[in-house]
Amino acid sequence: MNTSSRFYFWSWVSMQQHQQPLGFPCSTFATSCCPTMAGTEPHLRLFKHVIYAVDPALAQHLQEVEPFFALAATLTLYAHEIEEYGDIARLFDFLLANEAVMPLYLYAAIVISRKKELFELGVDEPEMLHAILSKMPKPLDLDSLILRASEMFVHHPPEKLPGRAWSRISPNSVLKTTHADPQQLVQQTLEDGERMFQRQAAEIKRNEARQQQIMHARLLFRRYKRPAAYTATAVLVAVTALLIGRGGSQQMNEIGLSVFTGIREKLTTAFKLLHD
């Protein structure tokens, strides 16, 4: 049995000894077990908002770096990244005693602790920044990082993060279902976890279907944009000419020009919205 397997086994034993619902430790991995990885992206982006709340300058420096470097560590509660069994056990004691969002706060604390090293690289080197952020620094001062992550969570709780980041997290996400009164969490069962998992999986499928529809609409727009523009312009000119031709007076001419201008502006706005 390797280190990670031993850790998971003894974590399960510990949860049983404390009479915690089995669904609680399993729920940490629930989002990543959905049909696609789409559900993990909002979680990882939340971590960047944590950094911004604590250190806006560093967050700006890392703006071009996608947060997927934190996936392996936060998914496995760092068991994939840390080799020493004692360190893993220490981290699990901390992480399992807190909400499911705490691994993100811990990773933010690790990134902030490397601020000086990260600022030595330019913002125009996102690949190098990503390479550094993908690896855990050695040695890890776990006690200091745990203390820093706990302080960050207290001073910058998820619901108060900038950019309304917390509102973008699904209500069925493990991050929110564990962000509740501890007495309510104790009552959660495996069946509750399965129901929340199924709801989030369905939500992810709906969102992906919606995104595919939007992409399809944009593809059609790009394909037929020029013919549509020519047709709309021809119709606009014909309608304006008809209005002017019927009246002949200065007043009717002004009405025709006004109609022409109004329709042109609406068409221009519509094309811009579709293009964006």
**How sure is the predictor about 27, in pLDDT bands with cuts at 50, 70 and 90?**
very low
More confident residue, 194 or 19: 194
pTM of the model: 0.62
Burial of 98 (0-12, 13-18, 19+ CB in 10 A): middle
User: What is the structure's pLDDT at 31?
Assistant: 46
Mean pLDDT over 178-191 rounds to 70
Q: Could you report the per-residue pLDDT of 122-179, keeping only the tens digit for each?
A: 888 889 999 899 888 888 899 999 999 999 999 999 999 998 888 888 777 778 777 7
Nearest CA among 67, 65, 45 for reference residue 161: 45
User: What is the structure's pLDDT at 118?
Assistant: 93
Q: By the 8 A CB rule, do 15 and 24 touch?
A: yes
For the chain, where are the E strands, in sequence order? none
Over 50: is that where the pLDDT of 14 sits?
no
The residue written with tokens 């209005």 in the block is: 243
Q: By the 8 A CB rule, do 176 and 32 touch?
A: no
**How sure is the predictor about 25, in pLDDT bands with cuts at 50, 70 and 90?**
very low
Which token pair is 249? 């007076």
Residue type, 199: R
CA 129 to centroid of chain Cα atoms? 20
Q: By the 8 A CB rule, do 24 and 185 touch?
A: yes
Which token pair is 51? 């950094």
Least confident interval from 72-86, 104-118, 121-135, 207-221: 207-221
Nearest CA among 206, 143, 157, 188 for reference residue 19: 188
Nearest CA among 8, 26, 13, 7 for reference residue 188: 26
User: What is the structure's pLDDT at 105?
Assistant: 95
Q: By the 8 A CB rule, do 35 and 204 touch?
A: yes
Domains annotated for the chain, with CATH where assigned, are 25-188 (1.10.472.80), 223-273 (no CATH)
Most confident of 1-5, 88-92, 142-146, 165-169: 142-146
